[in-house]
A and B are shown apart, each in its own frame.
Chain A
Amino acid sequence: MAKYEVNLKINNIPVTVEEGSTILDAAKKLNFRVPTLCQHPDLCVAGNCRVCVVEQKGAKALPAACATPVSEGMEIFTNSQKVRTARTHIIELLLSEHNSECTSCYKNGKCELQALANEYRVNENLFIKLVDKNTYTIDNFSPAIIKDDSKCIRCQRCVRTCASMQFVSALAVSHKGDKQKISTFFDKSMNDVVCTNCGQCVNRCPTGALVEKNYIDQVWDAVNNPKIHVVVQTAPSVRIGLGEDLGLEPGNRVTGKMVSALKRIGFDSVLDTDFSADLTIMEEGTELLTRLKKALVDKDETVALPMTTSCSPGWIKFIEHKYPSLLPNVSTCKSPQQMFGALAKTFYAQKKGLKVENMISVSIMPCTAKKYEADRPEMRSSGFKDVDYVLTTRELAMMIRQAGICFEDLPNEKYDSIMGESSGAAVIFGATGGVMEAALRTAYEIVTGREVPFANLDIVPVRGFEGIKEAKVLIKDVLPEWGFLEGAELSCAIAHGLANANKLMAAVVSGEVNYHFIEIMACPGGCLGGGGQPIPTSPEIRAKRMEAIYEEDANMAIRKSHENPEITAIYAEFLGKPNGHKSHELLHTHYVKRKGY
Chain B
Amino acid sequence: MTDVNVIINEKIEKFGKERQALMPILQGIVADKNYITEDELLLVAETLDLSAADVYGTATFYTFLDVVPRGKYVIRVCKTISCHMAGKDQIIDTLEKTLSIKLGETTTDKKFTLLQANCMGWCHKGPVMLINDEVYPELTPEKAIAIIAEYIAK
Contact = CB atoms under 8 A, between A and B. Distances in A.
Which 7 pairs of residues, A with B, have the shortest CB-CB distance?
A169-B51, A172-B57, A597-B52, A185-B52, A172-B53, A174-B57, A174-B60
Interface in A179-197: 183-187, 193-194
Interface string B52-77: 11111100110000010000000000
B46 A172 contact: no
Given A173-B57, A176-B61, A184-B56, 12 more contacts: A163-B51, A169-B53, A170-B53, A172-B56, A173-B61, A174-B57, A183-B60, A185-B52, A186-B38, A186-B41, A193-B53, A596-B52
A183 B46 contact: no
Interface of A: 163, 168-176, 183-187, 193-194, 596-597
B120 interface: no
Contacts of B60: 174-176, 183
B148 interface: no
B56 A183 contact: yes
B45 interface: yes
Interface of B: 38, 41-42, 45-46, 51-57, 60-61, 67
Contacts of B56: 172, 174, 183-187
A188 B57 CA distance: 13
B53 A183 contact: yes
A175 B52 contact: no
Contacts, number: 56
Contact of A597 (B53, B57, B67): B53
Given A186-B38, A597-B42, A194 B61 contact: no
A360 B101 CA distance: 56
A108 to B, nearest CB: 29
Contacts of A169: 51, 53-54
A596 B51 CA distance: 9
B54 A172 contact: yes
Most buried by A among B38, B45, B46, B57: B57
Nearest to B54: A172
A43 to B, nearest CB: 17
A187 B38 CA distance: 11
Contacts of B55: 185
A596 B57 contact: no
B46 A596 contact: yes
Nearest to B53: A172
Nearest to B63: A176
Contacts of B38: 186
A50 B41 CA distance: 33
Most buried by A among B38, B46, B51: B51
Contacts of B67: 186
A184 B46 contact: no
Given A186-B41, A596-B46, A175 B61 contact: yes
Contacts of B54: 169, 172
Contact of B45 (A168, A170, A597): A597
Most buried by B among A173, A596, A597: A597
12 contacts: A169-B54, A172-B57, A174-B56, A183-B57, A183-B60, A184-B53, A185-B56, A596-B42, A596-B52, A597-B42, A597-B51, A597-B53
A170 to B, nearest CB: 6
Contacts of A194: 51-53
A172 B57 CA distance: 6
A290 to B, nearest CB: 36
A187 B59 CA distance: 13
A441 to B, nearest CB: 39
A194 B54 CA distance: 12
A176 B41 CA distance: 19
Nearest to B50: A169
A196 B29 CA distance: 31
Nearest to A168: B51
A508 to B, nearest CB: 18
A596 B55 CA distance: 13
A148 B148 CA distance: 42
A186 B35 CA distance: 14
Contacts of A174: 53, 56-57, 60-61
A168 B53 CA distance: 10
A187 B61 CA distance: 14
A561 B45 CA distance: 45
A454 to B, nearest CB: 41
A597 B57 CA distance: 13
Contacts of B57: 172-174, 183
Nearest to B51: A169
